[in-house]
Amino acid sequence: MADIAAKDVAALRKITGAGMMDCKKALTESGGDLDAAKDWLRERNLAGASKRAGREADQGAIDVLCSGDLAVLVELNCETDFVAKGPLFKDMVAKLAAQVVAVNSDDIATTTVDGTTVEEAITQFAGTLGEKMTLGRVARFESATGVLDAYKHIQNERGVIGVLVELAGADRSDANAQAVAHDLALHIASAAPRFVSRDQVPVEEVAAERKVLEAQTREEGKPENALEKIVDGKLNGFYKTICLVDQPFVKDNKTTIGQLLKSVGDSVTVARFTRVKIGEE
């Protein structure tokens, strides 16, 4: 094995813009031959990767899959919506979603597909399309009894919002339960709740909100003896913005999500959900 000098790695990095470890590996594989190492990097679309590293990858696409016991969601980020809506990019996101299913995990970066790791495949793909790319958020819901649904909201020819949801206490063979699960996924995409119910909201967040609402109410000149009741009412409005079961259903704002769940059965609950939107944390 050739003894690779640090100066040779630095020189290759300067010429190609590839990462340090990639340059070292290229020189090792090519026996220290600089020109051969450059070709090695180009063949694997690794040249220029480090030059892209400082750019923002706040665009991208989302894909979802749902079947029986399993629902998955994958986000792949890039720099521009032009690339994100292209067929090659969307095909890559679909392959990543399939990888989550295949490896039985939501930690896919180091798993192998077609002889290379997902992380390496994305780096090479970034070189092909000439943009920085990163694996974004990945979610995997598996349930033997729950009713699962997945929804992808498409805008500008690519998935920009993805939702997974699981209902507990419902019969999976019940068509109404399946329909409600799908309606919930659509609702979550639109209304962006952060929690299922009030008991999940951190007490310190509620306390901070109450403090703000009390100050606002005093500023409005409301009587002190009515303060607590007024603040409680405003706090209910706060819960409606962040808690799923308190929110008015987007298809019928006279019905809350809690009431919608009861239409399936008194014991039906939302076990969990996740919502991912491109460009948002």
pLDDT at 6: 82
- Same domain membership, residue 93 and residue 37: no
CATH of the domain at 232: 1.10.286
| 72 shares its domain with 39 | no
pTM of the model: 0.80
Are residues 158 and 75 part of one domain? Answer: yes
* Model pLDDT for residues 216-229, shown as the tens digit of each residue: 888 888 888 888 89
Q: What is the CATH number of the domain that holds 10?
A: 1.10.8.10
Instruction: Output the pLDDT for position 174.
Output: 95
pLDDT value at position 96? 97
What is the domain extent for residue 73?
A: 59-167+176-185+272-277
Per-residue pLDDT, 51: 60
* Residue 14 lies inside a defined structural domain of this protein: yes
180 and 141 fall within a common domain: yes
Pairing of strands 158-168, 248-249: unpaired
**23-69 confidence digits (pLDDT tens):** 888 899 998 888 888 888 876 767 766 665 556 658 999 999 999 89
CATH number of the domain within which 137 lies: 3.30.479.20
Is 259 inside any structural domain? no
Q: What is the pLDDT of residue 54?
A: 58
Q: Does residue 153 lie within any of the structural domains?
A: yes
- Residues of the chain short of pLDDT 50, as ranges, are none
Q: Kindly state whether residues 97 and 42 are assigned to the same domain.
A: no
Q: Check whether residue 75 and residue 180 sit in a common domain.
A: yes
- Tell me whether residue 114 is in a domain: yes
Note the pLDDT of residue 57.
Answer: 58
Same domain, 139 and 162: yes
Task: Report the domain count for the chain.
Answer: 3
> Residue 256 domain-assigned?
no
Of the candidates 104, 270, 83, the residue with the CA atom closest to the CA atom of residue 184: 270
Do 63 and 142 belong together in one domain? Answer: yes
Classify residue 247: in a domain, yes or no: no
- The answer on 150 and 81 residing in a single domain is yes
Domain co-membership, 144 together with 89: yes
Domain shared by 214 and 154, yes or no: no
Task: State the pLDDT at residue 53.
Answer: 58
Q: Is residue 255 part of a domain?
A: no
Same domain membership, residue 180 and residue 74: yes
